[in-house]
A and B are shown apart, each in its own frame.
Chain A
Amino acid sequence: MTSKRLSTEFVQEFTRVQRPLYLYILAQIGSVTEAEEVLQEANVDIVAKCDQFEPGTNFLAWARQIATFEILQWRQGKARDKLRFSDEFVSAVAHEAAEHSETSESERNALEHCLKKLRPNDRKLIQSRYQPGSSGKDLAEQLGRPANSVYQSLGRIRRMLLECIQRQLALRSDPT
């Protein structure tokens, strides 16, 4: 029975790439929960193939390759789902998503900063929306507001965050 020994370095890298890997998968899958499932499948593969990783090389890039294969498999399994993204679309965004995942640490810091800058009510709303197990629809029911109006508010807050993050990133890359 073969047993695998995972080095401390491997475990640390594995932990570190979870989030960028998830975001990379999400851009090509579209659904937050399905992306989570694909991530799990990819994790199983990554651990199984730990021998193949060459220390010193880019771990995230290596993990992305494995994830790409899992995405492919997932998409094949969903070939009849009409709401699935098309092949053309996925190949168009994959490259961009890969590049983007390399900058996820600074993006995350920017998001933390921008969340603090939101108006308290907006912050409450967006955080309630992303509470585990919640959705925009649940939130609307909870607040007793029409779903569409809640969707609009959420969209507005996301736009503010997007713009704020972009400004933050530009500021940081250009310290002058």
Chain B
Amino acid sequence: MTTDQRNHLLSLLDAVFEETATIDQIAQLEQLVIGNSEARSLYVRASSLHGMLYWDAAGAPGEQFREESDTAAPAIQKSGEAGKLTSWRRLAAGLAIAGSVVALLLGFLMQPQPTVQPDNSPVVVDNNEAVVEPVVDRVDIPGLSMPGIRSHAPQETPVVADILPVPDIQPPQALLVDVINKQLAQEWKANEVVANSRASDAEWVRRIYLDLAGRIPTVSEAEAFLSDRSSEKDSVLVRRLLSSHESAANLANVWTNLLVGRVTRTPINRPALEGYLTNQFVANRPWSETVTDLITAEGNGDDNGAANFLLAHLNNEAVPATAITARVLLGQQVQCSQCHRHPVVSEWDQDHFWTFNACFQQTRIVETTVIDQETGERTRIRELTDEPGTKGSFYETLEGVVKVAYPGYDGQEISLEPETNRRAALAELLLGDEESDVARAFVNRTWAQFFGYGFTSSVDDMGPHSPVSHPKLLDELSKRFVSSDYNVQELVEAICLSEAYRLSSNVSETTEDDPEHGSLPLFSRVYVKPMSPEQMFQSLVVSSGASPSQIHSSIEMKSLREEWLSQFFRPDETEENSESCTFDGSLRQALSLMNGDLVQSVTSAESGILLDELASSNDSDVTKIRKICLATLSRYPSDRELASLRQVLRSYVRQRTERNIPARLAVNEGLRDMYWAYLNSSEFGLVQ
């Protein structure tokens, strides 16, 4: 290799390392390397150097290098005090030290059995043999909740259907919560199923916070609830949470994800949509009003948050707008009927899809560029407008004939007068009746949000072809939802205070209630759900001791959340505006959590308020361990769990003090690792 070639290769490599290389430069690099063994060797050495610098900078195990980095100057850091690899190496180091807290706890906590049952949580404390039992067999199972919770102790106080109050004469308008209790109890009886025992307060308080506020309770919130002896404490808490801004923001977040996804390819103002929805939920505006706003929105997405829904989906002849409105707001999968007749529901044919689609055919997105007079900055503004006209939707039938469809929905036609605002007419058609698909879809989806399953096997796919587990209850709830003027909080409150929602999620051995394996749900227990990425993020933040109010108010926190979420989602390369999610609670995910900046930063004493408090407090080790458990799992450790944790901590400290590390420091490090292991346990990632 000539000196020129060598220099050329090295400069090409600089471009690769700084991520500025063009396709052309990469082609040149490849050509040099493929044809020449010297060049190949140089490439591998240079790549190795680059990799070592990157790997070591994130917290080298080599002691010398660490000393150096103290003098290393301007700290350019994004988040947390170290990058991904530090914590990875901490895992590796933790695994390597026999009997260390991390290894043990990982083994201990990643077992399928939650640690609450003293009798089936084998703990091996052996300083010579680290026994790690990662749940390898779970790697490819999406939603790790399913098999992981099937081995609980039998319940102690079963609530038998017969003893539930079933009043013979109902008052003219029974309370919504009684409607739910009665109908579910009837089904339990008919199916000879015994309802599960009640959930412990700890189980329920964690569940209600996660489902309503989108995060686990703080230490003080959990303590307050656990020590409260009042018989009204459930309803007090539900009402307090329901009226909080946090619950509204959580619900808005869920719906924003449904309406436009987490990552959108079209330029829309997603926060404005989320803000609009938050305001609607805070003020408990009727759901019908929100749906009307979304369907009929005009103007640009900055001034009118609701406009972002259609701004995101009018591409491709408004096919996504049609399909997503039907799926999300009406609970119907009609996208296939663009080209096919539905296999079961014969009236869902091509005409059904395209008449619905024609309702959006007057709507256009007008783009204008605005130049700021002072700064000269150009911004593009996209506005939703309607152009009066008589245009229908054209489509090709299965026989290859082009047909035209005129606006309507479900057999009802919308006037073809050019001046008719078709979207407004559509909203009226959807919401005008006592029986509305919008209401049924909302009730079903909301139910599933709390119970883990809806009344149909998929909440997106309701219709004559999908069996309903509790048809009377769904009908009744939907009717009552409409007659209450689409009162969202009333519905949610009734669900949260129902007896079924208060049941334990433990799986009893005898139950036939097994929707995880395809049968229709009976709701004789609460089904375990994996945390959503948002719940996971918010819970990590709260467990570190940060104030929950920061989550929705701090801009920094919001952008951290966006960044953290973006690693799990990417838009699909299709015209259907769908996206792929890689967040599935698998072991793969667990590794990414362990390695992530976020876990790293909450488990460092500098930014973690909890650890900071523990480090400076004079409480006993037992109190501190209990606090860590409460902060992460919202429960106190079982006696046996506590005993093994203390033993682990003692041997951890002993190993370190033998190496002249001050005992106080060793204890704090032990507690930190314990906290880290709790966060990475499978129990943390579940809504039970």
Q: Point out residues on A near B: beta carbons under 8 Å.
A: 1-8, 11-12, 14-15, 18-19, 22-23, 26-27, 30-32, 35-36, 40-41, 43-44, 47-48, 82-83, 85-86, 88-89, 92-93, 96-97, 100, 104, 107-108, 111-112, 115-116, 120, 123-124, 126-139, 142-143, 151, 154-155, 158-159, 161-162, 165-166
User: For A128, what are the chain B residues with a Cβ–Cβ distance below 8 Å?
Assistant: 72-76
CA distance A104 to B52 in the complex (A): 9
B82 beta carbon closer than 8 Å to chain A: yes
B68 touches A127 (CB 8 A): yes
CA distance A36 to B83 in the complex (A): 12
Given A92-B33, A115-B65, A40 and B136 contact (CB-CB distance below 8 Å): no
| A26-B50, A88-B34 known, 17 other contacts, Cβ within 8 Å | A4-B136, A22-B55, A23-B48, A30-B47, A40-B591, A47-B136, A47-B587, A85-B26, A89-B34, A116-B64, A128-B73, A128-B74, A131-B83, A151-B18, A159-B10, A162-B49, A166-B45
Across chains A and B, which 6 residue pairs bring their CB atoms closest together, nearest first? A132-B83, A133-B78, A130-B57, A127-B72, A155-B14, A15-B92
CB within 8 A of A132: which of B10, B19, B57?
Answer: B57
A14 touches B46 (CB 8 A): no
Q: Specify the chain B residue showing the minimal Cβ separation from A134.
A: B76
Question: Shortest distance in angstroms between A172's beta carbon and chain B's nearest beta carbon?
Answer: 15
B44 beta carbon closer than 8 Å to chain A: yes
Given A23-B48, A124-B72, A130-B54, A1 and B78 contact (CB-CB distance below 8 Å): no
B51 beta carbon closer than 8 Å to chain A: yes
B48 touches A100 (CB 8 A): yes
B77 touches A123 (CB 8 A): no
Question: Shortest distance in angstroms between B71's beta carbon and chain A's nearest beta carbon?
Answer: 8
CA distance A140 to B78 in the complex (A): 15
B361 beta carbon closer than 8 Å to chain A: no
CB within 8 A of A135: which of B18, B85, B136, B587?
Answer: B18
Given A32-B50, A108-B52, A132-B84, A93 and B23 contact (CB-CB distance below 8 Å): no
Question: Shortest distance in angstroms between A56's beta carbon and chain B's nearest beta carbon?
Answer: 19
Q: Specify the chain B residue showing the minimal Cβ separation from A98.
A: B44
CA distance A104 to B128 in the complex (A): 29
User: For A112, what are the chain B residues with a Cβ–Cβ distance below 8 Å?
Assistant: 62, 64-65
10 inter-chain pairs at a CB distance below 8 angstroms, sorted by A residue, are A27-B44, A32-B51, A36-B595, A40-B592, A44-B588, A92-B34, A92-B40, A128-B74, A132-B58, A155-B11
CA distance A136 to B56 in the complex (A): 17
Given A11-B132, A40-B595, A132-B84, A123 and B46 contact (CB-CB distance below 8 Å): no
User: For B128, what are the chain A residues with a Cβ–Cβ distance below 8 Å?
Assistant: 8
CA distance A151 to B92 in the complex (A): 33
A-binding segment of B93-101, B337-345, B602-610:
B93-101
Question: Shortest distance in angstroms between A101's beta carbon and chain B's nearest beta carbon?
Answer: 8
User: For A126, what are the chain B residues with a Cβ–Cβ distance below 8 Å?
Assistant: 53
Q: Specify the chain B residue showing the minimal Cβ separation from A126.
A: B53
B52 touches A44 (CB 8 A): no
A11 touches B95 (CB 8 A): yes
A11 touches B130 (CB 8 A): yes
User: For A35, what are the chain B residues with a Cβ–Cβ distance below 8 Å?
Assistant: 51
Given A8-B130, A48-B139, A112-B62, A1 and B49 contact (CB-CB distance below 8 Å): no
CA distance A129 to B341 in the complex (A): 59
Question: Shortest distance in angstroms between A96's beta carbon and chain B's nearest beta carbon?
Answer: 5
B30 touches A89 (CB 8 A): yes
Contact with A along B417-434 (1 / 0, CB 8 A): 000000000000000000
B577 beta carbon closer than 8 Å to chain A: no
B76 touches A96 (CB 8 A): no
Question: Shortest distance in angstroms between A137's beta carbon and chain B's nearest beta carbon?
Answer: 7
B159 beta carbon closer than 8 Å to chain A: no
B666 beta carbon closer than 8 Å to chain A: no
A100 touches B45 (CB 8 A): yes
Given A92-B34, A128-B73, A133-B79, A14 and B92 contact (CB-CB distance below 8 Å): yes
CB within 8 A of B96: which of A15, A30, A44, A161?
Answer: A15
Question: Shortest distance in angstroms between B22's beta carbon and chain A's nearest beta carbon?
Answer: 9
A36 touches B14 (CB 8 A): no
B200 beta carbon closer than 8 Å to chain A: no
B331 beta carbon closer than 8 Å to chain A: no
User: For A111, what are the chain B residues with a Cβ–Cβ distance below 8 Å?
Assistant: 49, 52-53, 56
